[in-house]
């Protein structure tokens, strides 16, 4: 129960942070990505702040074997940059640039009633299903 409550609180804080920072606003995101036009650098500060928080959190987490909730720490160990990572990053970036959403902000915007987010989330789920089908097919072959 405490894990569910912690996940709910973390999700709410994350969602509120996305709304307050403008990350759930596709026009603001596209303005940030428009380097050749009227570039809006404000989201760079949001990302910079997130990187700092992440660095501190991972620094603390690496020294622990259990989380604050008593769960085993599972920190990714791979540093490998392979074709799947590069292609996935490119697809993610293209989708972000087209839609102005990435998964977290897309879900927040959907919850806020943003019509464009419904199309994005449906497309995201479709892409996840397609990926899963292709992965299963690859394992069978």
Series of mean pLDDT values for 10-residue runs along the chain (141 residues):
91 91 89 88 90 94 90 87 93 90 92 92 94 91 71
Can you read off the two tokens belonging to residue 63? Answer: 């020294």
Q: Residue 86: what pLDDT?
A: 96
pTM: 0.77
* pLDDT for res 13: 93
Nearest-angstrom CA–CA distance, 123 and 63 = 39
Residue ranges of domains in the chain? 2-140
Distance, CA of 103 to CA of 110 (rounded, Å): 10
pLDDT at 80: 92
């Amino acid at each position: 129960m405490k894990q569910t409550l912690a996940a709910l609180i973390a999700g709410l804080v994350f969602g509120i942070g996305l709304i307050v920072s403008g990350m759930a606003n596709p026009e603001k995101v596209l303005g940030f990505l428009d380097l050749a036009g009227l570039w809006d650098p404000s989201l760079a500060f949001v990302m910079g702040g997130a990187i700092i928080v992440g660095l501190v959190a991972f620094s603390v987490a690496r020294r622990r074997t259990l989380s604050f909730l008593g769960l085993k720490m599972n920190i990714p160990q791979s540093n490998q940059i392979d074709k799947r990572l590069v292609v996935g990053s490119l697809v993610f970036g293209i989708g972000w640039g087209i839609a102005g959403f990435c998964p977290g902000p897309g879900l927040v915007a959907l919850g806020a009633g943003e019509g464009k987010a419904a199309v994005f989330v449906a497309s995201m789920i479709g892409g996840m299903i397609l990926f899963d089908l292709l992965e299963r097919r690859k394992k069978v072959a």
